[in-house]
Structure 1
Amino acid sequence: MASTSHRVLPGFGLSLGYTLVYLSLLVLIPLGGLILKAGTLTIAEFWQIATTEQALASYRVTFGASFVAAAINAVFGLVVAWVLVRYPFPGKSLVDAFVDLPFALPTAVAGITLATLYAGNGWIGRHLEPLGIKIAYTPYGIVVALAFVTLPFIVRTLQPVIEDIEPEVEEAAASLGASRLQTFVKVIFPAIFPALLTGFTLAFSRAIGEFGSVIFIAGNMPMISEITPLLIIAKLEQQDVVGATALAVVMLVISFAMLLTINALQWWAANRHKGRAA
Structure 2
Amino acid sequence: MSQSAARSVIPGFGITLGFSVLYLSLLFLLPVAGLVLFTFKMTWPEFWAAVSHPQVVASYKLSFLASFIGASINAVFGTLTAWVLVRYTFPGKKIVDALVDLPFALPTAVAGIALVTLYASTGWVGHYLDLFGIRVAYSEIGVVIALTYIGLPFVVRTVQPVLADFEKELEEASAALGASRLTTVRRVILPAILPALLTGYALAFARAVGEYGSVIFISGNMPYKTEITPLLIVAKAEQYDYNGAAAIGVVMLAAAFILLLMINGLQWWASRRG
1:145 aligns with 2:157: no
Is the aligned partner of 1:2 residue 2:2?
Answer: yes
Distance in 2, matches of 1:221 and 1:44, equals 27
Equivalent in the alignment of 2:111: 110
> Counterparts of 2:265 and 2:8 in 1: how far apart (Å)?
33
User: Which amino acid in structure 2 is aligned with residue 121 of structure 1?
Assistant: T
1: distance between equivalents of 2:166 and 2:106?
Answer: 32
CA distance in 1, matches of 2:19, 2:266: 31
Q: Residue 131 of structure 1: CA displacement?
A: 1.4
- In structure 1, give the amino acid aligned to 2:52: T
CA shift at 1:197, angstroms? 0.8
Find the counterpart in structure 1 of residue 215 from structure 2.
Answer: 214
**1:235 maps to amino acid:** K
C-alpha separation in 2, matches of 1:248 and 1:179: 50
CA distance, structure 1, for counterparts of residue 19 and residue 181 of structure 2 = 50
- Cα deviation for residue 261 of structure 1 reads 4.0
What amino acid sits opposite 2:114 in the alignment?
Answer: T
- Superposition map of 1:174-213 within 5 A: 174-213=175-214
Report what 1:83 is aligned to.
84
Query: SS of the counterpart of 2:41?
Result: coil
User: Aligned ranges for residues 53-132 of structure 1 at < 5 Å?
Assistant: 53-132=54-133
Q: Displacement, 1:269? A: 6.4
Aligned residues: 273
- Letter of the structure 2 residue corresponding to residue 43 of structure 1: W
Task: Supply the distance in 2 between the matched residues of 1:178 and 1:206 (Cα, whole angstroms).
Answer: 38
Following superposition, the deviation at residue 264 of structure 1 comes to 3.7
Secondary structure in 1 aligned to 2:255?
Answer: helix
Q: How high is the sequence identity, in percent, across the aligned residues? A: 59
Say if 2:199 and 2:267, in contact at 8 Å, map to a contact too.
Answer: yes
Q: Supply the distance in 2 between the matched residues of 1:268 and 1:194 (Cα, whole angstroms).
A: 7
Post-superposition Cα deviations, 1:38-75, rounded to whole Å, max 9, x if no partner, equal 11111111111100000000000111111111111011
Note the C-alpha offset of 1:117: 0.3
CA distance in 2, matches of 1:5, 1:157: 36
In 2, Cα distance between the equivalents of 1:148 and 1:141?
11
CA distance in 2, matches of 1:88, 1:169: 21
Give 2:12's aligned residue.
11
Matching residue's letter, 1:72: I
Report deviation, 1:202.
1.1
Shift of 1:166: 1.2
Rate the CA distance shift 1:70–1:172 in 2: closer, same or farther, 3 A: same
Structure 1 portions without partners, runs of 5+: none
What per-residue deviation string (whole Å, max 9, x for no partner) do you get for residues 120-162 of structure 1? 0100001111112111011111111111111111111111100
Distance 1:256 1:32 in 2: 13
- TM-score (structure 2 length as normaliser): 0.95
Deviation at 1:167, TM superposition (A): 1.1
Instruction: Find the residue that maps to 1:83 and give its secondary structure.
Output: helix
